[in-house]
Structure formats: C-alpha cells, structure tokens
Amino acid sequence: MAKIETIPGAGNKGAAAKTGNSRRRFLTGGAAAVAAGAATLAMPSVSRAQTVTWRFQSTWGATDIFHEYAQDYVKRVNEIAGNRFKLELLAANAVVGAFQTMDATHSGALDGSHGVTAYWYGKHKAASFYGTTAPFGWDANQLLGWFYYGGGMALYNELIGTNLKLNVVGYLTGPMPTQPLGWFKKDIRTGDDLKGLKFRTVGLAGDLYTAMGLAVTNIPGGEVVPSMQRGVLDAAEFNNPSSDRAYGMPDVSKSYVLGSYHQRMETFEVLFNKTKHDALPAELKATLRYAAEAASADMSWKQQDRYPKDLQEMRDKQGVKTSRVTDAVLQAQLAGWTKVLAELEKDPYNKKVLDSQRAWVKRVVGFYREYDTSNEMAWNYFNRA
C-alpha cells in the first residue's frame, strides 16, 4: 500500500505544492494497488501448492464402529486443514495387518494409523499401560486425564522415543467403557470356570488370564469369529456391543457376560511418522493433536447412543442372553492382577509408570469419590418397577 504523507502548514504555498505532489503520488500508488488486487482476483496464482495427502490406516474392519471413530477423527483433521492437508483413511489390511501398523508408521510405509497401544505390546509390555492398564479404580477418561495432565505423555514419549527408538508421534484419544468379560459356551460363575479355556484377548489382559490358567491367543478382531468356528478358541472378548455385533460374535455364542476387570477401560492411539509429522508447519501439527481431543469428546457421546441400541438388538433379534459377571470372577481377576503387577514392577520403567498412575488415581479418583454423589440411589428410585 502506498505511504500517505502528512504535510504540516497547509496554508503555506510550498506546503500546498508538496500536498499536490503527495496526492498525485497517493492516487498513482493507490490506483496501482487496486489494479494489482483486481489482477490477483481475476488470475489466481497458478503456483498454489497441491493438497498434501497422507495414508492413514486403522486397525479395524470397515464395518466396525471403531473404524467409524477413526473416520470421525479424519473428518475433523480434513475439515480444519482445508485444502492444504488431508488424511486418506484405509481399513485394516489395506496396506498392513492390524498388528503391523506401528511398524508401518515407524518405517513410513504408512503416514499414520489409528489403533490401540495393546496391539504393539509385544515390543514392550508397558505399551499396554497407555491403553488398557491395571484396574486401580479409575475409568478411561481419568486415564486420559493422567496422560495429558498427570505426566503420562512424557512417560509415553520416553518409552517410544528413548527406550524403543520408534520414529513415531502419538496421541491418546477416545475413552472406552468397561469391556465385557466376553462370549462363552458355558456358564462362568468363578475363576475356576475360566481355567483351561482357549481365550482371545490382547495386551496385559493376556498376562492376567495366563496367570489365571487360561490359554491366551492374541489375534485381531476380524479373526475371532472364524477361530471360534474352527474350535481354535473356546471363548473370546473384543470390546463393546457394536463392535462385537459387527464382527458376528452372536453367530458363535449366545452367552454374553458383561462387566470385568481384565480391561476396565481402554483408549485409542493416533500415530504419525515422526519425521513427516515434525516437518509439518505448527498449525497442522496442532490440527492433528486438537482433532484427537475433539474426536475423543465426540466418541464419548456417540457410544452412549450406539452401544445400548446394539446390545438390545442382539437380545431382541439374535437371541443373545446377557448376564453380569460375578463377584467371585472379579475377585479372581484382582488376585491375578496382583501377580502380574508384581512381576511387571521388577522393571524400573514399568514401576515408574505404575507409581505415577497410582498417584493420579489416589488424588483424582479419591477426590471424586469424596465429592460426587453416587447415582445408585437415584437410579433405583426413578427406575423401580
């Protein structure tokens, strides 16, 4: 924009001449600026950069609500980033298998992925601490609170960066409620009823059930039903009514036991190749993180609608019989967790993380237990027959 000069002494003849010159300079410069602006509008720059597209694979089947949650995250990133940047969502096995997304993101075969930390727990058992950890009396939203405000993210970065040298950047998102005990072909009343079962689970829950005498198989969700049909598995758990229904669990079992301490809560993990992530401008890096936070909130609301509907549909239309886990099974699980944690804490890093989680639970859950009113009395009052 042309500079506008301020000329003192307007009554002076010399000043008047200067004013005239100044006006001519202003009008000339202004006209040039307007012309340049009009030309820009009429002929947008042909050198505008094309949209950068990253391949982003979920670890979930295309019909699983978990893949829908991944899509909800991708939608937020793409809408916020506009034409500059987009994620292209792929379902499990599009590029690599569900359990290979960490390695593919690390190597750059994938630019990013949506999954759970328990799926790469084979690299270090502490991975499970950031997705499905010990049932210290907290829920998944409180686990996310620990991650973002209680020092959990720093410990996670220590694990993936310092300890494992993984070329990834990760964010936790999406609080999951308690996972069901699972799908069974016989009545489960005590911990002894579980012993000897060929059972599917993932992460530290595998260590728990091994300690309880089960034969654990760790496979992706899409392989569970075929494995039960072939007799490779006697029983299994995946996660929630919507996912379990999508994978066809009611086709291989009609007994669905709700409630458990094997995975009291869990969260999702969004991963990106660190080299590519760090090369992004600051606003796009912020988009990837804050979209995870926004999608996390949305998921916590969406599941309230979907999970109860699918549970009732399985009862009404597919003949599924539901029951609540017994106190005897829960007590057996807690005793199993005590053995697993004692073994894990022999590793100094594991102990550091578990001590941090216990401290968070004592402070935060302790506060809510003292501060909140239980819903039990109100529920019973307004929902009595």
pLDDT digits (tens, 9 = 90+) for 121-152: 999 999 999 999 999 999 999 999 999 999 99
Do 241 and 113 lie in a common domain?
Answer: no
Contact 208, 336 (CB under 8 A): yes
Taking every pair of Cα atoms in the chain, the longest distance, rounded to a whole number of angstroms, is 108
| Cα separation, 365 vs 332, whole angstroms | 23
Instruction: Give the range of the structural domain holding residue 240, as residue numbers without chain letter.
Output: 182-264+319-370
Do 141 and 192 lie in a common domain?
Answer: no
**Strand pairing partners for 273?**
168
Do 329 and 278 lie in a common domain?
Answer: no
Question: Confidence band (pLDDT; 50, 70, 90) for 18?
Answer: very low
Do 324 and 287 lie in a common domain?
Answer: no
Query: Is the confidence at residue 370, as pLDDT, over 90?
Result: yes
Q: What is the pLDDT of residues 21-39, one digit of tens each?
A: 443 343 344 444 434 443 3
Strands (E) located in the chain: 52-58, 85-90, 112-115, 168-176, 182-184, 198-200, 215-217, 235-236, 255-258, 266-273, 321-324
pLDDT of residue 133: 96
Nearest C-alpha neighbor of 266 from the set 159, 143, 157: 143
Q: What is the pLDDT of residues 269-324, one digit of tens each?
A: 999 999 999 999 999 999 999 999 999 999 999 999 999 999 999 999 999 999 99
Provide the mean pLDDT of the chain. 89
DSSP 278: H
Q: What are the C-alpha distances in Å from 258 to residues 138, 227, 246, 261, 334?
A: 18, 21, 17, 11, 17
Nearest C-alpha neighbor of 263 from the set 199, 316, 321: 199
Question: Confidence band (pLDDT; 50, 70, 90) for 66?
Answer: very high
pLDDT of residue 385: 67
Range 227-249 average pLDDT:
96
Q: pTM here?
A: 0.86
Question: Confidence band (pLDDT; 50, 70, 90) for 12?
Answer: very low
Rounded CA Rg of the chain? 28
Query: Is the confidence at residue 16, as pLDDT, over 60?
Result: no
pLDDT of residue 281: 97
Residue with tokens 């040039």: 32
Instruction: Please indicate, yes or no, if residue 17 is contained in any of the structural domains.
Output: no
- Other CB atoms within 10 Å distance of the CB of residue 150: 20
Instruction: Please indicate, yes or no, if residue 18 is contained in any of the structural domains.
Output: no
Contact 314, 180 (CB under 8 A): no
Kindly report the CATH number assigned to the domain that includes residue 271: 3.40.190.170
Query: Is the confidence at residue 209, as pLDDT, over 60?
Result: yes
Phi then psi for residue 305, to 5 deg, are -85, -45
Do 216 and 245 lie in a common domain?
Answer: yes
- Other CB atoms within 10 Å distance of the CB of residue 296: 23
Total domain count, the chain: 2
Question: Confidence band (pLDDT; 50, 70, 90) for 49?
Answer: low
Query: Is the confidence at residue 240, as pLDDT, over 50?
Result: yes
Q: Poorest-confidence range of 11-20, 52-61, 121-130, 208-217?
A: 11-20
